[in-house]
Structure 1
Amino acid sequence: MTDTDLTPRTVLKDFTGFLRRPQVMAGGGLRSTGNWRRWTWLTALMVAVLLGAILPLLRLWQYAFSLPDPVAFEQFPKEWLVPTVVILAPVSEELLFRGWQSGSRTALWLLVCAAAGIGAFVLALSPQWAMQALVLLLAAVAGALAGWLILRKKPGPLGWFARFYPAIFYCAAALFALVHLGNYGTASLIAVPLVLPQFWAGLVLGHIRQQIGLWAAIAAHAVANGVTIGLALAFG
């Protein structure tokens, strides 16, 4: 498919087709023919739906049920807010939620090691577990390095991963959304719609990750975060 074939209509058709049956794809990166245009249309779609539909409805939901605004941003010094939202969050969240969605042995093993590393940091919050946390962290780092060296020559997705990927895709998007409930300092059924923006973004970013590649998903995530935080800072 050439650049001229990639109209908004064809990109939207590809996206809705992917949502009907998510699948592991080879990607190709932003250097592949047409992928810059595809990335532009998909990122524009994500931002337009967020700003034009989801966020206005979200404000009405907050007003109707007296739900709070996000409090997570208050935890950051002002000078760190934009770099955290526009750079750190997109990179870390895409690696954690979509970096492993190639389904390769290497990617899934690194996900296990990342989970162990996160567990080490959680353990370290309790002083009596500090030594165990250090051992677990070192084991996670060593395991990640060893696994990458051993498994990196087997890039294809595992059979079971490809077979169950539709469920994996939607579960990952839902989990990506639900962890953002922490932004509001509340967790209740009435608050779940507050993370619809993240669920929508997870669907689009998951498609970008498969259709184009991980770095394209990181870039789209950064653009969406930059636009929303920019508007938030500009209009309070």
Structure 2
Amino acid sequence: MTEQSAAEEGGAVSAAGEEAIRSLLASCRESMKGEPGRTTAGVIPLDPLSVETQIITHQHPALTISVKLSNMALTGLSEFVIEEVKVNVQLLTITVSLAYDTLLLDGEYELQGKLVKVIPISARGPFTVTTNNAKVTLRAKLKECRGRLEVRDLTSDLILEGVRCRLAQMTGGALVSKVLNSLLTDLLRRERPRLAHELSAALKTLLNNELKNFNLGVSLQLLQTSDRLMRRGSLY
């Protein structure tokens, strides 16, 4: 939401509120880290985030393969940079733009197949899939609940760019490497909705854990600011 649209909707964009949300997000960072499968602060750790074992097949006259991908984990979700925060005090909405320098998916692959339906091929080893300059947009709606503010809804949109793959101990020539690279790239992109959902759920819980420390009056004071600092609109 732009500052102009906030004013047109009768909302007040709060500079102080933006700084408060930045501080709350920063405090959530450490809670996002932990051992896979172990719940911390009421959420499953996101950094690293476990990815389920998958078996992918590819059939083509020149190449038929089956690939098992296991022991996978995505690292880097807690290493976000807060690029922009917009807080609309009257509408109680928050929009946050996050950026990631690098997200890394690693694991092990085991490949079985045939070239031109005759020549058997097999390979196994570690792999990594790296994406640079990923972007996340978070949109949250706050509500009053039992004398406190809490996040009612939080959605996220994750954009992945610049995906690169690296496979160790690969055999079978350039064609096999090209196909497997394509399959791994598609895997990360298919995981995108799940990553966005997990990130939304975890940040909603973590932000609510932080907001529990403040009563409604203090929470509103964190979000509000004086007319002198108001960028658009008015609180009154």
Q: How does the TM-score come out when normalised to structure 2?
A: 0.26
Structure with bigger strand share is 2
Higher relative contact order (CA 8 A, sep 6+): 1
Structure with bigger helix share is 1
Q: How does the TM-score come out when normalised to structure 1?
A: 0.26
Work out which of the two has the higher radius of gyration on C-alpha atoms and give 1 or 2: 2
